[in-house]
Structure 1
């Protein structure tokens, strides 16, 4: 394993109830990177994260995380990783400070009071430290959970859909903090469904039903997929959607508010399909656009088969 790679795992496989939920998965994440992990619900993201941090043992595969063997040194990995789960998992009948003091004791940290003070200050929790965790809003619970993850100063932060259910301002503040950690050398692997968050990552891995579809730097993914895209606005849109879904050259039709985005790999055939509907419906306006991450995500998912079907 290179010293520059914090995560370097190969062929990780895990099954539940006879169904493969992670299928020979490879992942390499360099030190200090913010690495996005995208995929639909049930695609194996959480299972992969749990294997990476030592909570689940893979049935096959090998590799190292933070220099430790994922099969035989899981305890050492767990001690050095911060893992934020989808569901808030701290004690709701304890205050913010009491929760952080409890986590500090679990890790047998020295100078606990000073570490708790620093964690409170880093996440803007000092003024609320006596408030019960159960009374916090989603955004403040998120800050507390992140403070608990970072109190033992881990080198690797694993975040499983950390901003689900919080408001846009809280999400923005959260990502500002993640970038500050990255600047300090902390590596982050984050699963998300929000495309505006995905584009903030240095690299992205798309996973669908246990299989990795693409793994590349964020800037390179649109070029690798090669998806041409048009935006159609006007009235009426619903019959146009139905016409385009069966048109040659059209691989994706998706509604975006008061517009339709039509995408395909065959640029010439796609342009012909768009021209046909705009001629047939005089109230429509069509404009060629660059495919965004949401269009790419929908396109990749539409070609994947649910392993539970």
Structure 2
């Protein structure tokens, strides 16, 4: 069950091909579901009705803007798509230009804008009608870190004003902004909870190991334990163990050797808290192994 409440940001996470975009398209009424039930804004029937469409905003993974139209012309077009009354359109466009930082860019051809600016226009188009429910499919893809931070301030503002928001992202540091997270594998949500709950519920203890060469150490440990337990993070290894008191001395012993002709140099080994990235790797790989 995937339940998104008003005033809440729900982050849907999963590897490429897990079914995140397909799920959003079904929720938006763009694809017919193969099974199960969908309810939007309290309605489970006639999900493609114009009335319900006006209560939903959708920012797709790929740009749905017209490159040969100006920023303002694109926003005017989406006013029509979402049924914004003509008497309110100028006011709504000015509001979107302001909140999205697009003032002064309204006459620019959209096709000439950098990717991050196009994302702003696409986001503005999706919230033009101030929807009750907002679907954002990788809204910050290709956006620089500063612009991503600004995007999330906007998203959080809409949630504070009562909008129910479902967002997908590959940036796990962004997922910390969400009230609830769902991890999807092969079209099924296999784990969900707040970011703090997800991290607290991970089985075992995470060990951070600084060792050279890192790849050789990783290859060695994967011969000693289940491969999902070992991940490379930059110049370090993250290893999940079930019994730290027994497993840490064993790790030290194993790593004070050589592997495939390479001598391993262990520099440090210590318990650390789980990050969301550790959780993502563990949850997805365990679910794939059990499938």
Tell me if TM exceeds 0.5.
yes
Secondary structure, aligned partner of 2:104: helix
Map 1:1-309 → 2, pairs under 5 A: 26-69=1-44, 71-75=45-49, 76-110=51-85, 111-248=88-225, 251-268=228-245, 270-280=247-257, 281-305=264-288
| Gap runs ≥5 in structure 1 | 1-25
For 2:26, what is the secondary structure of its paired residue?
helix
TM-score by length of 1: 0.85
For 1:221 and 1:279, how far apart are their aligned partners in 2? 33
Shift in CA distance, 273/299, structure 1 to aligned 2, threshold 3 Å? farther
2:24 aligned counterpart, secondary structure: helix
After TM superposition, the score normalised by the length of structure 2 is 0.90
On the 8 A contact 1:278/1:285 being kept in 2, the answer is no
Judge which range, 160-169 or 189-198, deviates more. 160-169
Question: Structure 2 stretches of 5 or more lacking a match?
Answer: 258-263
How far the C-alpha of 1:144 sits from its partner, in A, is 0.4
Could you tell me whether the CA contact under 8 Å between 2:71 and 2:108 is conserved in 1?
yes
Q: How many residues in Structure 1 have an aligned counterpart in Structure 2?
A: 281
- Per the TM alignment, residue 166 of structure 1 is displaced from its structure 2 partner at its CA by 1.6
Q: What do you get for the CA RMSD once the two structures are aligned? A: 2.0
SS of residue in 1 equivalent to 2:131 = coil
Q: Whose helix proportion is higher, 1 or 2?
A: 2
Aligned-partner SS, 2:78 = helix
4+ residue stretches of structure 1 with deviation over 3 A? 248-251, 264-270, 277-283
Q: Kindly tell me: are residues 72 and 266 of structure 1, through their superposed partners in 2, closer, same or farther at Cα, counting changes over 3 Å?
A: farther
Q: CA deviation at 1:127?
A: 1.1
